[in-house]
Amino acid sequence: MTTSRQPVVRDAVLAALEGALRAPSEHNTQPWRWTLLPDRLELAVDPHRRLPFTDERGEGVLLACGAALHHLRVGLAARGWTPVVRLDREGPPQRRVAEVAWEPADAVPDDARRQAAAIDRRRTDRRRFAAETIDPGVLDELALVARTFGAALHVVGGHARRALVDAMRDAALLQLDRPGYTAELQRWTHRYAGGADGIPHSARLAEPHLYDDLVLRWFPGGGLHQPPGGADHADVSTLIVLTVDGDDTASVVRAGEAMSAVLLEATAHGLAATPITQVLEVDETRDRVQALTGGHPVVVLRVGRPVPEAPEPPRTPRRDLVSVLVDRSAEPDEQDAR
């Protein structure tokens, strides 16, 4: 990379990092830390932002970091830079999960342009969806973007859907009994006014998260109402389980990239989605999901068309870039000095 290009790259990298802040994370904990070096970025898990009573196995933080990494990837690509990503195999306790360098690209790939444009529009939507089935061609496209990151999508219907929904209901009950779980939920749903993380009142459903037989994670006392029209209790969503082959750090970070790619692609197609990990956080119910799908299930995606009259769900807050970025780009690189 030539010196004359460096300010241009720096602007592109910082803009892509701003976009990466919008990645989804469990309870909106934003468990990522970035370090900017002269010629690359490093991404690490922020261990203080793990949810020890909810995300006992620590997969949630890796999925969120993977989502942030993918948001960065498309942000760089949309600005004319090809990201060169190296995932760390061992991950925590070293905590670094990936390193990203960049090379000038000849052209901006269409999918990067489309997905980068969806970053600001994507929201977790827990409300009722419209009674409209998703075009199978769109589901195929979602499966294709997941495959790019080594993940498989399982659209769960019929008997398997019933088994998944039963497991989700059981997980919701079992998790409520877990010591520390409810306190953690309170902590991340009742932040100080003006807080830049957690799930705000405006994004939590006012009514219980119950749709017929489908039970979503319960968040206390919300202010988000169901859209007008139709029965409040019907759920017509498509349930999709995302699986990967391995459960090592790099596989789960990659699964987080796949989750992000699917969510952004779904947004680009005008779909709404809820990422759900609750059913996979309880060993017994995770085993039941795994029996349905095979592989290593990492997240369930509830996907559908938004009700036409529904207002946009609120934008959840984020910490600003200076809170999550250490800028060492002006310092001599230790790796080069060695």
List of E strands, 96-237? 96-104, 152-156, 210-211, 214-215
- Per CB under 6 A, the segment of 6-14, 19-27, 36-44, 84-92 that binds ligand FMN is 19-27
Residue from the set 124, 182, 290, 329 that interacts with ligand FMN by CB under 6 A: 124
- Cα separation, 10 vs 77, in Å, equals 14
- For ligand FMN, give the closer residue by CB, 28 or 293: 28
Does 227 help bind ligand FMN (rule: CB under 6 A)? no
Q: How far is the CB of 19 from ligand FMN (least distance, A)?
A: 12
How far, in Å, are 45, 134, 150 from residue 243 at the CA level?
A: 22, 21, 9
Count the residues of the shown chain that bind ligand FMN, applying the rule CB under 6 A.
22
Does 64 help bind ligand FMN (rule: CB under 6 A)? yes
Does 28 help bind ligand FMN (rule: CB under 6 A)? yes
Report the DSSP beta bridge partners of residue 104. Answer: 81
- DSSP, res 52: T
Q: Which of 302, 293, 303, 304 is nearest to 152 (CA)?
A: 293
Q: Print the binding letters for residues 257-296 with ligand FMN: x by CB under 6 A, - otherwise.
A: -----------------xxxxx------------------
- Residue 153's identity, in one-letter code, is L
Place of tokens 């990067």: 112
Cα Rg for the chain, rounded, in angstroms?
Answer: 20
Residue 244 phi/psi, 5-degree rounding, is: -130, 175
With CB atoms as reference, the residue minimizing the distance to ligand FMN is 24
- Residue 326's identity, in one-letter code, is V
Does 26 help bind ligand FMN (rule: CB under 6 A)? yes
Does 216 help bind ligand FMN (rule: CB under 6 A)? yes
Does 172 help bind ligand FMN (rule: CB under 6 A)? no
Does 189 help bind ligand FMN (rule: CB under 6 A)? no
Residues with Cβ within 8 Å of 313's Cβ and at least 6 positions away in sequence, in order, are 123, 124, 125, 127, 203, 224, 272
- For ligand FMN, give the closer residue by CB, 41 or 276: 276
Does 127 help bind ligand FMN (rule: CB under 6 A)? no
Does 63 help bind ligand FMN (rule: CB under 6 A)? yes
Q: How far is the CB of 197 from ligand FMN (least distance, A)?
A: 9
Does 164 help bind ligand FMN (rule: CB under 6 A)? no
Does 199 help bind ligand FMN (rule: CB under 6 A)? yes
Question: Does residue 261 contact residue 310 with C-beta atoms inside 8 Å?
Answer: no
Residues with Cβ within 8 Å of 299's Cβ and at least 6 positions away in sequence, in order, are 63, 241, 242, 255, 259, 275, 276, 277, 280
Which structure tokens are listed for 171?
A: 């997980």
Find the length of the chain.
Answer: 338
Residue from the set 19, 24, 31, 227 that interacts with ligand FMN by CB under 6 A: 24
Q: Which of 198, 188, 189 is nearest to 319 (CA)?
A: 198
Does 243 help bind ligand FMN (rule: CB under 6 A)? no
Which structure tokens are listed for 148?
A: 């790019």
Does 66 help bind ligand FMN (rule: CB under 6 A)? no
**Contact residues for ligand FMN, defined by CB under 6 A:** 24-28, 60, 63-64, 67, 123-124, 126, 199, 216-217, 274-278, 299, 316
